[in-house]
Chain A
């Protein structure tokens, strides 16, 4: 059940990704419409984060390609914002909330230039949007999980992008933060931005997203929520191991070289 769209914001063509030489995504192929809030669902180890990292060019694919706004990634980086998993950074790093949000302006500033008043105003505005105005000078290690996630989202907002890729922004956050972030993402989608979110909770996904991508090593489904959130497809995504695919994966990782690499 894969719905392809005309004039896609993001087009992924036959993407296969491996870590070392263990394939973690097989032949993923889909396209996404603009102005939607899109969820990537799948069990642990399904390759959700890998897909986002491959889109951002942080892992190079074994085969296949990604096109964003009908262009290769490097031509349109300024229009894309990436929010890594909260745990991927060391929150003991000596920095204030404002310092981190200012990093969102680095992309447009380029190398060597320092952020100035304009950038600072933008960062403050973004902190206001995520409800963190009272924490501007706070040391980041003093924040709760939910507050750290809000800071990351403020940093993404400061990038002023058109496509947002977020890796588990709802992981380990409190109810209030979840509602606040969700409302913010809704507003962003309503104003024409495309927001792609890795998510693991099926129940909230029902309410959250307009469009859903289901992954489990391969693409199970991609389409409007009403069409893909069916019992059959959910069972295909979450129901047990894909015996054959995992066996092939084992076979390949035992080889002395990567046979998938051309």
Chain B
């Protein structure tokens, strides 16, 4: 707990610096990553992030120490080379895009690991810090590193904000963009540069292996919550920053813990929660709204049964009669009775149930929709009268008042359905 307060009150300036750094990094990578996710180029980010490892080692060899400028430059160049190679191969061979990306990812990463192992054998005392580039260590970032990584993040954020409209066009409709004279090729080139930079800024804090997750997961998780681009970008950035800070906190409390995997754990958690509970697309929401709908259909069925009894001249039904009508649905029927009593549609006296004033109207509406739909199927779609009941059983719960009015007009306010039963309206009341 003390650690928690110490960390989140930012008393320690070095903690504050790291948090600022990880925040900028999170916003920058989520920003770029969301665009590449929308552009369906998620795999390219993964390939680039693995492909920067040889560059990092090269930078270290040339500088002879962990010099951030050498390492960032090396990482950028090797990422750029991998990107260029993948588009060159795509243009000049018949290989599919996924095989090209898989090949580039493994070849570059393999070379990187070979170089890293060779360096470790060389006995250079500076080498210890190099390992953190694999899985990341946010706490190990020095202030001079932070200036470089933070500065690059800011550049990414600024460029993307300035060219938001252009990138939107590049992803949504590039040929229209070309047609109105926008330099779409150059915009795409610039985007690739930003993508590589977004990977490079994450190598120290998150590590090359998992950087792709920080690019893609925030956008993918945020997509569950919104259908608009600007809120999507903001939400993705927020998710990314939250997981970044939490991951850094874990590395701070448990110094042996690499940051990258923990950031990914928190990000995945956010993505999972979004998948479960987001409105419209979340599965829990869908489950609940289906359940609510089923409950309504059971209520409708009970009202219908009572109304049909009314048509036969019986003012009420016993609970046993209702159970018999819908076998195996005892539990649902009991629930419906409770619900309908609450809304004053029915009353129960001892064992018999009868419709109340508002309940009759509602029951008439359901039966009316059922019979109107049967008539519509029979008259307009020429479906035989003995084939229309099933569909009407579903549509009676769905049809809106607008559609009801349309049906009435289309069928010219009919009085009988295909089975010669009366279509009930308020004026020919049975009460």
Contact = CB atoms under 8 A, between A and B. Distances in A.
A159 B182 CA distance: 14
Interface in B203-241: 223, 226-229, 232
Given A58-B179, A90-B172, A95-B228, 8 more contacts: A56-B178, A77-B181, A78-B181, A80-B179, A84-B173, A99-B228, A100-B172, A111-B182
A147 to B, nearest CB: 16
Interface size class of B (residues with CB under 8 A): 20 to 34
A112 B163 contact: yes
B175 A58 contact: yes
A-B pairs, 8 with minimum CB distance: A107-B180, A82-B179, A139-B227, A77-B181, A56-B179, A89-B173, A93-B172, A94-B229
Given A89-B173, A106-B169, A77 B180 contact: yes
A103 B181 CA distance: 13
B395 interface: no
B181 A107 contact: yes
Contacts of A93: 38, 171-172
A95 B176 contact: no
Interface residues of A, number: 31
Interface in A22-80: 53, 56-58, 74, 77-78, 80
A114 interface: yes
A85 to B, nearest CB: 10
Contacts of A103: 168-169, 172-173, 176
A213 B417 CA distance: 54
Contact of A111 (B166, B171, B176): B166
A217 B181 CA distance: 28
B216 to A, nearest CB: 15
Contact of A95 (B164, B172, B175): B172
A239 B106 CA distance: 53
B162 interface: yes
A57 B178 CA distance: 8
Interface of A: 53, 56-58, 74, 77-78, 80, 82, 84, 88-90, 93-96, 99-100, 103, 106-107, 109, 111-112, 114-115, 139, 141, 155, 159
Interface of B: 38, 40, 162-166, 168-169, 171-173, 175-182, 223, 226-229, 232
12 contacts: A53-B175, A77-B180, A82-B176, A84-B173, A93-B38, A94-B226, A94-B232, A99-B228, A100-B172, A107-B181, A114-B164, A155-B176
A197 B40 CA distance: 31
Contacts of B169: 103, 106
Nearest to B183: A111
Contacts of B229: 94-95, 99
Nearest to B228: A94
A114 B223 CA distance: 24
A58 B178 contact: yes
